[in-house]
Structure formats: C-alpha cells, structure tokens
C-alpha cells in the first residue's frame, strides 16, 4: 500500500514540477535558423574557420562567426524570384541591430559572395543588397530557394527570433 501511495505522490510531483513544459506543445529548440557567413577560399586558421556540408554533398569553408544570424531577423517573408516564379527569395525584416549590420555588410562586402547557411548547411552564395540607412528594416535576400524550404524558413523565423531574444515581447498584431 505504501509503495502505491509513494508512486502516486512521486508521479504527481513530477507532473506538477514539469507541468509548464507538458502544457507547452512547442519544443524549446530552433529550426531553420539562418546565418550569413564569409566564405573562406584558402583556410588557414582552423579555430575560426570550419568546413560545412553543402546541399549538393560537397563541403565549403566558412568563417565561424556569422555576420548576420536569426537573432537579428524579426520576420521572414517569401517573395517570388524575379527570374523564375517556381522559386522564392526571402524578404527579411531586421531589428535595429540587424539593419546596422546589414548596412555595414552591404558596403564592405558588396563585391564578395557570402554564404547563406540554414541550420549549419550551406545553401547558396549571396551578395548583400545595399541599404543606406538603419531605418530600412527590410532587405531582399536573392537566394532562389524551392518554395517548401522558403516557406519553412519563413514559418520558423518569428519563433527563432523570440527564442534568441526572450526579453522582447511578441506583438499581438
């Protein structure tokens, strides 16, 4: 009898202690996080450069520190690619920090290809679109992704942003 009562109390204690996690159906992990990295053509510094896989199965070297990451991207929308409507580009809504980073990136790296990385996998080379003021909060990323991948990245973008910025409140609008 005492064993049964102990098991019941233990079970109730576990449920009460983890109740918040059980009621929240969303997991506490990120999906489809995106990053913009510098492509390294001649790797020399292994502690600040790494080799990552590409979607074609090859490998590419990038700098380990991203210029832009999902923590600076409030929201992503899919827009049809100008050259082929069967593919999508991404319209990024950047926070103030992201706008400042992008503004600097678009000037300093405007002539260089950068790596568009999703969850540690290289997808495309991108050239940053120029913005001239930090008030420009939207930038177009010409990545020519298939619609399924683009929609998944867009759907996860807000959750990723608030995962990395838990102090910011989600707008009800």
Domain 32-164 has CATH 3.30.1360.200: yes
| pLDDT value of residue 12 | 53
| Average pLDDT value for residue range 4-9 | 61
pLDDT digits (tens, 9 = 90+) for 42-93: 888 778 999 999 999 999 999 999 999 999 999 999 999 999 999 999 999 9
DSSP3 helix / strand / coil % (the chain, rounded to 5):
30, 30, 35
Residue 109 contacts residue 117 (beta carbons within 8 Å): no
Q: Lowest mean pLDDT of 16-20, 35-39, 111-115, 140-144, name the range.
A: 16-20
69 forms bridges with which residues in the sheet? 35
Residue 33 contacts residue 118 (beta carbons within 8 Å): yes
Q: For the chain, what is the mean pLDDT? A: 84
| pLDDT value of residue 5 | 65
Residue 34 contacts residue 153 (beta carbons within 8 Å): yes
CA distances from 104 to 12, 98, 132, 139 (A): 54, 10, 9, 13
- With bands split at pLDDT 50, 70 and 90, how would you rate the model's confidence at 172? low
């Amino acid at each position: 009898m005492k064993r049964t009562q102990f098991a019941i109390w233990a079970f109730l204690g576990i449920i009460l202690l983890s109740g918040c996690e059980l009621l929240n159906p969303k997991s506490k992990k990120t999906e489809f996080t995106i990053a913009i990295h510098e492509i390294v053509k001649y790797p020399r510094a292994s502690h600040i450069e790494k080799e990552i896989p590409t979607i074609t199965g090859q490998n590419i070297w990038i700098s380990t520190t991203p210029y832009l990451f999902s923590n600076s991207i409030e929201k992503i929308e899919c827009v049809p690619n100008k050259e082929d409507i069967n593919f999508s580009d991404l319209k990024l809504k950047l926070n103030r920090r992201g706008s400042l980073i992008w503004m600097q990136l678009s000037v300093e790296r405007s002539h260089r290809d950068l790596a568009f990385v999703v969850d540690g996998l290289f997808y495309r080379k991108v050239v940053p679109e120029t913005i001239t003021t930090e008030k420009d909060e939207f930038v177009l990323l010409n990545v020519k992704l298939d619609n399924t991948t683009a929609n998944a990245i867009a759907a996860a973008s807000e959750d990723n942003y608030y995962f990395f910025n838990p102090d910011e409140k989600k707008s009800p609008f």
